[in-house]
Each structure stands twice: as structure tokens, then as C-alpha cells.
Amino acid sequence: MKFIKVFFYFIFLAYNQQVTAQIYNDYIGAGQTQGVIVTNSSNSNGTAEQSTIDGGGLSIDAFEASRFLSNASLGADFETIQEVSEIGVSTWLDHQFEMPIQVSYIDTTWMIWNHFYPQYINIWGEDFIVNNGDAVIPYWYYWKMAWWNNILKSKDHLRQRVTQALSQIFVISEKSNLQLSGPGMADYYDLLYNHSFGNYRDILYNITLHPMMGFYLSHINNPKSDPTNNIHPDENYAREIMQLFSIGLFELNLDGTRKKDEQGADIPTYDNNDIKEFAKIFTGLAPSGYWWPWEDYSSIPAEWGGTYNESPATVVTWESMIAFDNWHEPGPKILLNDQLVPAGQTTLQDIDDAIDNLFHHPNVGPFIGKLLIQRLVKSNPTPEYVSRVASKFNDNGYGVRGDMKAIIRAILTDAEALDCSWQDEPYAGKLREPLLKYTQVLKAFNAYNESGKLWNWGYLFDEAVSQGILSSPSVFNFYLPDFQPNGPISNADLFAPEFQIHTSATSINYINLVYDWFINENYGEIATHAGDSVHNAPSYDNNDLDPKDYIFLDLEDEYAIAADAQALIDRIDLITTGGLFTDQTKTTIINSVEQLTDPVERVKTALFLSFISPEYNIQK
């Protein structure tokens, strides 16, 4: 009972840190620049004057580096924090942007599957496997193992973080029949990963043609109108590409605030007729490989090509969909702002025009910019912050619209992201996503095993906290961007999206997970053995795990200073919160640690209490 009381005390503090803050007025510099003007007598073309005090062009201290990396990575170790502190944010971003593609999720998925497949052959026999077509393709479990393996091994911290953020905007989910195609989900994630530093238009165009999105939002095999048989183009993707992936529901100013009509009402960006016109665009697309089986197999047009298997589990395709012009809606289409798509064009020409129509809509910069700010930095950006990011979306400084590198840099280096003073504003910060808490545990302390198979499939974690990669309950993600939990946050008219999955159950489950990680040293759900059925997940049983596969954290540096409780807590504070522990929290953890003599127990206890602290759970 004491355990649960302590937990709810921490959660209460974390909840209220969104709307209360401590003010610091005792220093300037390192981002604390409000009201300060810097001039320079030199006429040189070197570092801008303001950078000498705001830190933009200089090295920053380790605490600022840690807080920056909490926005720009899935988790950073002590050495990475030191690196950013030494070379500065701008140079680190340059290095990350220049880093080549590190991994292929679909290749890793197949690599892991090829480890398990011979085991299934041994269990069931080759004849059974070959004749049971649905078993030949790895299900979602293997893609999940590939994701954890790749994010834990790769050093492209920024690309991995941005990809994870994009996956919560351009949503597909295993909570559908997509779970039957691990390679398909992996390939979709590769699409986001490969284009995360490219151009937003390319992302929008390529997800439109990807069969995973086509199936998830039902524009795959979408036929032209047939009024005689009451067949009309499916409108699902047409609606969501506008509502969720580009322009949103209402017309916006550059700063993300809503425009008003003469009566003071919000102005919708589109209506039902616009949806119908866009639905005509997204017809005639079909997969290039195996079919997703239809309920009535005889209705699949033979001239569309492809093959299919009548098993409902046949999910083999992940290559871009192919256009079949004779099944594309003919005639002109009228899109937003009365743009005419002329009759007689091919399917892909129509799609190209439609993507351009959306891409150049003035809403996209503030709409997508604010969503990315919420995912990377804070739940309640000011209109000025949104405006600065949207301006970079509209023009990267060289006349290019939609440049993801410019957008990401603008988000992560804005004063509201870097300046210490913004931490003290009531609307600063965000509740950390459960998934990012887990990735930080494993990446901050360099999770490893002897075999090199970091094949964590995270099923129990997902079930416990209601979040995993590509596993949201709907296309609306795990939480809505304008979610307001009842109480102080709602009363202050602030938003806190992540609180939508922060329930009494998930909050208690999280603390139990942290206890299991650090006290029981159970850091992952590693699977290296086949299950007892080709239809089931691979075997996960730590009691049956080869010692070479068991995950450990590298805590040698923490053990080395464990005798000095203050030094230990200071180091953990730096790594986890960027130095935001209050004196009260430090004292609480130090008092608990000093009751222990074993260095391992001291470190484990300190980490357990740190990862459930309010300063950690509320990211600032």
C-alpha cells in the first residue's frame, strides 16, 4: 500500500508541473536571454552577436545538451550528452543530417525471420509450411523485433527520433489486419525513415502509394464509379489525407490560430463535396504482388493483374501500388481553391496534381509544424513558435517549400525549445510518452547482450502502457493533439495529448515496469526461439533464454560512483532530466540510497526512483 501511495504522490506532482513553475532571475546566458540585447563592434562575418549569449553558435553546458537530446533523440547516453555539449547544437545537427541511412527495417525483419523459419520447419515440417501460405510471411512480431534491434544499435539519433514522430502523424497500425505483414509494416516505416530528412511533399506522395496505407485507409483496389451497381469511390483516404496528413479541419493563420469568418466562426478547410472530388483521384490503385483478399473473390477484376490466395492471412505485398488507368475515375475533378484537374490524365498525373494541391495549401506549414512541435518539444507552443516553424516550412531560406531539415532545425533550435527561461512558463513541457521512457532506459545506458540479438518485441510493454511503435488504436494516433485532461490543465485551457493514455491502469503499470527493469533487471522481451504454432508469436520466456541473449545495461560508471550518493544522483539527474531534479527529489532519492550498502542495489534504487520522479515524467 505504501508503494502505491508513493506512486500517486509522484503522479500528482508530475500532473501539476504542467501548470505551475518556479522562476529563476539570478542569471543570464545559456539560453536565459529575455530582455537582453547584445551588440558587436566588429564588422566581421563571424558568429551573430546574439549567439554569444543565447548559445546558438557556441558550445552549451551538459544540462542543456541533455535537455536538447530529450527532444532530438530516442535516448542519449552520457557520452552523447558530452559530445553535444562540446560541439554545440548546430554542429551536432549538421552531423546528424549528413549521416547516411543506417538501417533497413525490412531487411532486419527478414533477417530475424530467417532465424526462426528453420525452427518452424523442424516443428511442423516443410510440406505443412509451404501449403499453409499464411505462415510463410512473418507477422508483426518480427517487425517489432527489427525495430527495437535497429533503434538500439544505430547512431542516427535524430533521424530515428523524427521517424518515430512522423509515425504518429502518418498513422498505420498493427491493430488491424496489417499485423499479418511484418515486412509490409517494416517497409512503411522505412519509407518514413528514408524520407524524414527529405521533403514533406515526397512523404505525402509516397505514403499515398504504399499498400499498407492503401489497405489501412481503404483506397487500395478503389474502383471508379459504377452507378448501375451503386459503386462509388471510397472516401476514407480522401478525408484523412486532408484532416490528418496535411491541412486539418479549419483554415489557419501562419501562427496556427484559426481564421474566422465575418460572424466570428471557424472556417472549414473542406466539405463533403471536396472529399468526393479527392476520392475520385485515389481510384485505380492496386498492389503489385499478392492481393488482400476481398470478401467476394470473383469481383476482383482479372485485368488488374496480380495473384491472390483465398486464405485471409495472405499478406505479401509491400511494393508501391500500381496505377490501372482503366479503373481510374475519368473526367475532371475540382480540388481545393477551385483547382481544376483536367479530364484525360493518367491516374498518377491526377494524384500528382492532388498532392500539389494539398502541399501548397497555406495550412500545411502551421498544421504539420505544430504537430511536430508537440511530438518533439512541447504540448503548448506559442503562436509565435508555430509561426517561426511554419515560415521555415514555407521557405527554407533558399526558396524551397517543405524542406524537412529546415523544419526540424527550426523546431529544435527555437528559443522555446532551447532557452532555459521557457522551462518556467506554465505551458512549457509535455508528459513523456511511455515508449520514449522505455527507449531512453535502453539507449541512455547502452543496452546490450552477448549474442547481439536485441530482439525485443515489446508486447507486454505495449499492453501495459497502451503504446508501441505502429500500434495505435486508430488513425487518430494514441492521443489527440488537443486532448485536455480534466483538472488544472483543462482549467488553464492547455493541451496535454499524452495524458489521454495516462490512466489509473497505465500509470500503475508503468511504475511496475520500471520496478521490473531496474530491480529485477528484466529489460526486454527477447525472443530467439520459435513458438509452438506457426500462427503464434515466437517464444518469450526468460527462464528458457540463452544467457547470451539476455539484455543488460552498461552501468559500470554508475557503480563506480555509487558510494557517493550525491555524485550518483547528479549523474543520473543529468542523463535523465537535464538537471531538473528539485532539491526535494534529490534528497528523497539520496536518503533512500544511503540506506543501502551494496553499490549495485544503490544504483538500481536510484534509477528506479528517478524514472518515476515528476521531473523525469514531465519533459521540459
> Residue 403 and residue 605: Cα distance in Å, rounded?
45
| Model pLDDT, residue 572 | 98
Series of mean pLDDT values for 10-residue runs along the chain (620 residues): 40 40 37 47 39 47 96 98 97 98 95 89 72 67 96 97 98 92 94 98 97 92 90 96 98 98 97 98 81 40 41 55 92 98 97 98 98 98 98 98 98 94 84 98 97 94 97 97 96 96 97 97 91 72 83 97 98 96 97 97 98 96
Position 20 scores a pLDDT of: 38
Per-residue confidence (pLDDT) for residue 286, from 0 to 100? 85
* Greatest Cα-to-Cα distance within the chain, rounded to the nearest angstrom: 82
Query: Nine-digit cell at 175?
Result: 491493430
pTM over 0.85: yes
CB 251 within 8 A of CB 202: no
- Grid coordinates belonging to 110: 527478414
Residue with cell 532557452: 419
**Location of C-alpha cell 553535444:** 84
- Helix or strand (DSSP H, E) at 618: strand 618-619
Question: Which of 561, 532, 569 shows the shortest CA–CA distance to 116?
Answer: 532
Q: Are 203 and 192 in contact (CB under 8 A)?
A: yes
> Sign (positive/negative) of CA torsion 242, 147, 576, 60?
negative
Residue 526 φ then ψ, to 5°: -90, 135
| Contact between residue 161 and residue 80 where contact means Cβ atoms under 8 Å apart | no
- Helices vs strands, H then E, count in the chain: 28, 6
Cβ atoms within 10 Å of 113's Cβ, excluding its own: 22
By the 8 A CB rule, do 129 and 453 touch? no
**Alpha-carbon distance 333 to 325, whole Å?**
15
Q: Please say whether the beta carbons of 171 and 471 come within 8 A.
A: no
Three-class secondary structure of residue 9 per DSSP: helix
Kindly provide the residue ranges of all beta strands, DSSP E only, lying in 284-383, ordered along the sequence: 285-286, 322-323, 333-334, 340-341
Q: Strand, coil or helix: what is 226?
A: strand
Q: What is the dihedral of CA 564, 567, 569, 571, to 10 degrees?
A: -140
